[in-house]
Amino acid sequence: MNKMKGLSVVCVACFLSAMPLCAQDIEKEFEEFEKKQQAEFEEFKNKADAEFETFLRETWKKYDAFAPVPAPVRPEPPKPVIFDKARPAMPPVAVKPGALKIPEAPVPAVGGKVAVDPKHPDLPAIQDKPAPGVYVPGKPYTPVVVKVPVVKPDRSVHRTPVEFYGTDFEVATEVIDHFSLSGDKEANVADAWKELCQKDYEQLVSDCMTLKKEKKLSDWAYLLLTKRIGEQLYGKDRTNDVVFLQMFLLCKSGYKVRLAKIDDGLKLMIATAGTVYGTPYLKMEDGDKYYVFEPDPKGSKSLYTYRQNFADAKNLVCLNIEGIPAFAMEEQDRTLSLAGNELKVQTVVNKNLIDFYLDYPQCDVVIHYKTPMSEELRASLYPQLKKAIEGKSQKDAANLLLNFVQTAFQYKTDGEQFGYEKPNFPDETFYYPYCDCEDRAMLYSTLVKELMGLDTILLDYPNHIASAVRFTEEIPGDYVQLEDGTEYLICDPTYIGAPIGTCMDQYKNVAPEVIY
């Protein structure tokens, strides 16, 4: 028994002494595996970088850009129509809408999922989700997942504050501080690409991609951030250096962008999910449209560019805004009064956000319609409106909100106020002194959806846009009836003084297109 006991003690001792060795072996194997994975990744990355350098170094091909797609222009009435309460009421009408208006923009996602309306599951605008990175007009766009670059360990990081719409964005710019193109020839561009690829640029790209997520920047906001970094480092006059840096950062962030030579200078071209109106573009071999970023209106339509994209660039620049950028607050207050001062509301918007919206490209109206209202504006506006409609029937609450939008805002067409077609984002309607019919229709629809929980649509008539609401109470009036029998009561925020259920006379028998 003693011999057996002694043998057991020896076995346990041997086993215990072997345990650290096994753990060390496992740790060593894992480290070797990580090194192998990193080496394979570096080899793949270096191969993609070298391949793209080859494309940049080749003679660029000449193309003639397509003429810009003009922005949709609605010759709106110069003044809003006033409802005549003394005139005998016309019989209510039920109108079948025209064709569903498929937006040029992708359908926004909700909480990272496809925006599907359970009441209208068969609408072509929201069915058949395309593969990641593939854009189909009027359908959801899902980007390919791009990993944030791995930063080398134990690297000291010095970050520079970059001022962007009144907000300091901390970015590690050391590797590009003294960068400069030696010229705009193919070889100069290829050499610059090779130079930056051989530097420790990962921290810079990692900072940019991390800020994009943390600050809720849309793709367009991210595009503008890359421009701002270049302008702060090099100045606005060194346009070629700024444009090249944009291309580098966006390519390394996974976006389909390219350089083009136009009139002896470099220009950035971006492939977008959604149409950019008023901007020249190329349709490349991959089927995507590449728009000239900030084109010269008097510039040549002939351009030169290379034959292939950067291999790791898989995503389009999506024009949707699904989260409001977290810019520093610069408060702009405004008091709005319903006719007769029956209701007064105090509102607050962020001037930095308004400046960003002003730099947004001309795009499909549904992008403006689906952009959420900022938290600052919600916090100031919604409690006051909720209190005003509290305890009211759907009819009375909807009429109060309609009268508010009809009378608290001054009317002017986009042409009169801006000199071009410009639908408002929600916060802009509370900043600019004037708004037109589409701005009012989008605002009213938003208020009814978010304060009353009712389903709404926009009605796109020739030269006019109105709203329509699906009430759950029985309310008489003019309405549109969809193919499935669903009825939406017409509510027109530009028909001043008209109650819900009242269509302008000239549109009573017109079949509008429907925007969801």
Burial class for 229, CB neighbours closer than 10 Å (0-12, 13-18, 19+): buried
C-alpha torsion sign, points 71, 75, 80, 82: negative
Q: How many CB atoms lie within 10 A of CB 40?
A: 10
Q: Are 207 and 159 in contact (CB under 8 A)?
A: yes
Query: How much is the pLDDT for 92?
Result: 78
Q: Are 58 and 473 in contact (CB under 8 A)?
A: no
- For residue 394, the Cα-to-chain-centroid distance in whole angstroms is 33
Q: Is 385 helix (H, G, I), strand (E, B) or coil?
A: helix
Q: For the whole model, what pTM was predicted? A: 0.86
Which candidate, 54, 44, 66, places its Cα nearest to that of 147? 44
Give dist(CA 480, CA 501) in Å, integer. Answer: 10
Give dist(CA 327, CA 474) in Å, integer. Answer: 44
Q: Are 246 and 179 in contact (CB under 8 A)?
A: no
Averages of pLDDT over each 10 residues, the chain, 516 residues: 46 47 60 51 71 96 92 74 80 75 71 40 54 91 93 86 98 95 95 96 97 98 98 97 98 98 96 95 91 93 94 96 97 92 92 98 93 97 97 97 96 91 95 96 97 96 93 95 92 96 93 88
Task: Give the pairing type, strands 265-273 and 289-292.
Answer: antiparallel
* CA angle 403–492–373, rounded 5-degree value: 75
Residues 6+ apart with CB under 8 A from 405: 440, 443, 444, 447, 493
- Domains of the chain, each with CATH number or no CATH: 61-68+145-318 (no CATH), 81-105+329-515 (3.10.620)
Query: How much is the pLDDT for 25?
Result: 65
Q: Are 483 and 508 in contact (CB under 8 A)?
A: no
Which candidate, 126, 17, 28, places its Cα nearest to that of 515? 126
DSSP state, residue 122: T
Query: How much is the pLDDT for 26?
Result: 65
Burial class for 293, CB neighbours closer than 10 Å (0-12, 13-18, 19+): buried
* CA angle 303–307–308, rounded 5-degree value: 125
Between the alpha carbon of residue 14 and those of residues 8, 28, 192, the distances in Å are 10, 21, 60
